[in-house]
Amino acid sequence: MSLLKAAIIGGGHIADQNHIPALKALSDQVEVVAICSRDKNKARVLADKHGIPFAFDDALEMYSSECKPDIIVNCTANNLHYPFTIQALEHDCHVLCEKPPAMSGAQAREMAELAKSKGKVLAYNFQLRQTDEYQLLRKCLETGQLGRVYHIKANFLRRRGIPGWGNFTNKSIQGGGALIDLGVHILDLALSIMDYQMPDRIVANTYDYIGKAGGKGLMGEWDPEKFEVEDSCFAHLSFPDNSSIALSSSFALNTKMQKNVNLEIFGTKAGALLNPFTLYTEFAGELTDMSFPHLEEPDIQLKNTAAFLDLCAGKPSNICNADQGAVLQEIVEKIYLSAETQS
């Protein structure tokens, strides 16, 4: 079987450190043939670093060139996910897109529908699905150990982690702050446990007190005059079957832990904590906690890229697919609307 040919659009850190090494490690399935960046010199330098033959500053030129990719990995800024994904699908490429899916629910839904009509795979890079802890949780859910899950507390919190670099505080480029950058990761996990239902009620609040005050944190100094997004977001999602998710995300929050990425799951038979993975139940009237040893952390980018290639090959895969990405983006949009309108 011939190798699939992959091209990267976006020549930044995440392409260099995450996606290219993962694709290179899967060289029995895929060959990286091109880098495309608005700065052709930057694309050429990155291509040379990784031994990639072609470099472009124009995606249309890339599609018409001899390299003819089968796969596009979209590593562009948030506001460019939609146009470059649509373009790639129109050129009959499968797409692995960085998170978030898009800037709006309508964009994400259009991307999903186009992928379906073209018979192509569109998936999103939510790598937390590939951790050992999440895999253990899935097994517990599938074997019925938790019973019916009716509430989840989902946290992705940084105590002082406002990025002092890049476009993370620019709303027109990013679409938002802590929720769209961090919260979407843990929201994806929570929604996957709830079978990716659409909530019928959402109440949310966002804040920017720390961001607007300015300062220096664990990720550098930020300019309060250019801080246009939320530094924290809290949302309660209620679903038609009376289940719920309490979502908390922050770039900066006056809390004890420097970083808190976790799920706490409440079921009719047992509860669970994701990190470290622990089951909470009772047996013969006695409270019972079952902790599982933490295994060596896998390369979750490598595993997510492999899951994407499985989907391209028509194999079972646990990656976030196009329809799920559209639901997630629609929910994110509703969270921001609730916070903005206080309704």
Taking the CA atoms of the chain, what radius of gyration do you get in angstroms?
Answer: 21
Amino acid 99: pLDDT: 98
Distance CA 110, CA 19 (A): 25
Q: What is the CATH number of domain 4-127?
A: 3.40.50.720
Q: What is the mean pLDDT of residues 212-240?
A: 96
pLDDT band at residue 115 using 50, 70 and 90 as cut-offs: very high
Q: What is the mean pLDDT of residues 205-223?
A: 95
pLDDT at 1 over 60: no
pTM of the predicted structure, to 2 decimals: 0.96
pLDDT at 296 over 70: no
Amino acid 185: pLDDT: 98
CATH superfamily for 128-297+321-341 is Dihydrodipicolinate Reductase; domain 2 (3.30.360.10)
Amino acid 298: pLDDT: 75
- Of 128-137, 242-251, 279-288, the one with minimum mean pLDDT is 279-288
Residues of the chain with CATH 3.40.50.720: 4-127
- Asked if omega into 100 is within 30° of 0 (cis), the reply is yes
Residues of the chain with CATH 3.30.360.10: 128-297+321-341
Q: What is the pLDDT of residues 70-86, one digit of tens each?
A: 999 999 999 999 999 99
Q: What is the pLDDT of residues 159-183, one digit of tens each?
A: 999 999 899 999 999 999 999 999 9
Distance CA 281, CA 272 (A): 9
Q: What is the mean pLDDT of the chain?
A: 96
Distance CA 233, CA 213 (A): 17
Amino acid 285: pLDDT: 80
pLDDT at 146 over 60: yes
Distance CA 321, CA 292 (A): 29
